[in-house]
Amino acid sequence: MIPAMARAASFVAAVSIAGCTLPNPAFDEREAETRAELGDTRSDGDGDGDHDGESGEANGDGDGDGESESGDGDGDSPCPPPLSDCEGQCVDLDKDPNNCGDCGAPCGQHEVCAFDGCVESKYIFVTSTPTVGGLGGLEMAHELCQTHASEARLPGDYLAWLSTTNVGAASFHSHVGPYVRRDGKIIAHNWQDLIDGQLNVPIDLDETGAPIEPAAAPSCQLDFAVWTGTDNAGSWGGDTCGEWASSPEMDEIGNVGNAKSVDAWSTSGQCSEACELMLPLYCVRQ
């Protein structure tokens, strides 16, 4: 029979050969105390000290790139389509004259943002001074419009929105928009939009951009009447103050429009007034 001491020695030798180490509670306790004194708190419960566990790394998605699975941090745009974020402001790059086509791309003084870029403003205004209907003919009306535009330092050529029996306003006016008020608001995006019977905004500003003064047409019960002789489609409207050349004794009448209306701007129910009445004109840039 092998003595007890011999059996113990044989067991220790066998364990050493296998590369194993027997647990030593006393040693483990001393090691823990030493780590605590040195401030080493690494322990993940499995003895390997890597602190990653099965839940992944500390970046939130476990792939080691420091990003979150929720996205790249850019976030969604705060502006709903079709608006774009330009330095914290939501703007329409197709319409904003200060950000036309791109943020920080302004249009010029007499330009409007349309058609994916800045284009020249085709102004339509009401003359700041009225005139009688018999003002000396169509050519004199055009001269009055050009004079008002030049005095207001507006670029381009201007014609009066007037028709005669044989010549409708649509036949000599340029058919290129957009048509714009002096404050930059679009009256109509193109020619068809101008004559379809419904403007975007009323033409109620003069050549300087100021609100027009009242011009009463008592028979038509209008407070802001304008000489036109033209229907909303740009054709002859019926009464033209003797082709705009009548004298007071001729007792002529002329069609008027309503400058405060978007659907009766050129003709107010084909209403006419006595030609000695003092009313303004519409002037259109060509």
CATH of the domain at 153: 3.10.100.10
What residues make up the domain containing 113? 84-120
The span from the CA of 98 to the CA of 95, in Å, is: 9
Neighbours of 133 (CB within 10 A): 28
Query: How many degrees, rounded to 5, is the angle at CA 261 between CA 255 and CA 265?
Result: 35
In-domain check, residue 240:
yes
- Where residue 19 falls (left for φ over 0; alpha for ψ -120 to 50; beta otherwise) is left
Angstrom CA distances, 220 to 100, 163, 189, stand at: 42, 19, 29
Q: How many domains does the chain have?
A: 2
Whether omega before 280 lies within 30 degrees of 0, making that bond cis, reads no
Same domain, 260 and 278: yes
Residue that finishes a domain, picked among 68, 93, 120: 120
How confident is the prediction along the chain (286 residues), in pLDDT tens digits per residue?
Answer: 444 434 434 433 333 334 434 444 444 555 555 445 444 444 444 444 444 434 434 344 444 444 434 333 345 679 999 999 999 999 999 888 899 999 999 999 889 898 778 999 999 999 999 999 999 999 999 999 999 999 999 999 999 999 999 999 999 888 888 999 999 999 999 999 999 999 999 999 999 999 999 999 999 999 999 999 999 999 999 899 999 998 877 889 999 999 999 999 999 878 999 999 999 999 999 9
- Beta bridge mates, 19: none
Same domain, 115 and 145: no
- Helix, strand, coil shares of the chain as percentages rounded to 5? 20, 20, 60
pTM of the predicted structure, to 2 decimals: 0.69
In-domain check, residue 146:
yes
Same domain, 251 and 191: yes
In-domain check, residue 10:
no
Task: Please give the pLDDT value at position 8.
Answer: 37
Angstrom CA distances, 249 to 143, 155, 197, stand at: 24, 38, 35
- Half-sphere exposure for 265 (CA within 13 Å, toward CB): 29
Residue that finishes a domain, picked among 92, 120, 148: 120
In-domain check, residue 48:
no
Same domain, 88 and 192: no
Task: Please give the pLDDT value at position 223.
Answer: 98
